[in-house]
Amino acid sequence: MKISPKQIKAIEELIPKKDQQSFVDNAIQKGLDDHKADNAEEIEVFVDGGSRGNPGIAGGGFGVFRGGKLIHKGSEYFGDKTNNQAEYLALRLALRETYDKFSDLKIKCYMDSQLVVEQMNGNYKVKSADLRPIYEEVRRIADQFKHFQISHVRREQNQLADDLANQAMDRRG
């Protein structure tokens, strides 16, 4: 990256001499980090759904990260659903919204619903007649990605998605 004489003059005027090299080094590193994040070959999607009551007011949210940088987020109110239905609906929402832009990348999904993660990974059967249709739809969407992986995380590691799910429930549509 080449710095123009005009940029050097601006740096010299604004930043004390002793801090100038550090400033330039940090700016270059940030540019490199941003470039790396924009070109990462995988995305991480943190997803959460919830219900206030079971069934009750339900919503979901998700955050998409690329190279550690939040690049997209979303949430939706689902109406009157069970907690497990809300978890699956949130996963469906996240996958639908990421597919058009990122289907050619590896997707790593994280949820704090152990049931959904284990069912999506084929470790638990989907016995509930209410969940089976949404599970099958989500499975079809996930299978369209170049690479899809889903893992369980603790609730504390899923704070953004949890906050977005709660905001969706607060909106009630």
- Stretch among 6-20, 21-35, 59-73, 95-109 having the lowest mean pLDDT: 21-35
Q: What six digits make up the tokens of 95? A: 């996958």
Question: 123 with 149, same domain?
Answer: yes
Question: 56 with 19, same domain?
Answer: no
Burial 114-127 (b: 16+ CB within 10 A, else e): ebbbebbeeeeebe
Number of domains the chain is built from: 2
Question: 65 with 116, same domain?
Answer: yes
Question: 71 with 154, same domain?
Answer: yes
pLDDT the model gives residue 97: 95
Give me the domain span that covers residue 75: 42-171
Question: 20 with 89, same domain?
Answer: no
Task: State mean pLDDT over 119-130.
Answer: 96
Share of the chain above pLDDT 70, in %: 88
Question: 33 with 48, same domain?
Answer: no
Question: 101 with 50, same domain?
Answer: yes
Question: 126 with 98, same domain?
Answer: yes
Question: 19 with 56, same domain?
Answer: no
Q: What six digits make up the tokens of 158? A: 């899923």
- pLDDT exceeds 60 at position 45: yes
CA–CA gap between residue 104 and residue 22 (Å, rounded) = 38
Question: 146 with 116, same domain?
Answer: yes
pLDDT the model gives residue 22: 76
* 3-state per-residue secondary structure call for the chain: CCCCHHHHHHHHHHCCHHHHHHHHHHHHHHHHHHHHHHCCCEEEEEEEEEEEECCEEEEEEEEEEECCEEEEEEEEEEEEECHHHHHHHHHHHHHHHHHHHHCCCEEEEEECCHHHHHHHCCCCCCCCCCCHHHHHHHHHHHHHCCEEEEEECCHHHHHHHHHHHHHHHHHCC
pLDDT in tens, 74-108: 999 999 999 999 999 999 999 999 998 898 899 99
CA–CA gap between residue 96 and residue 16 (Å, rounded) = 49
Whichever domain contains 131, its CATH number is 3.30.420.10
Question: 21 with 54, same domain?
Answer: no
Question: 23 with 71, same domain?
Answer: no
Share of the chain above pLDDT 90, in %: 70
CA atoms within 13 A on the CB side of 98: 40
CA atoms within 13 A on the CB side of 118: 9
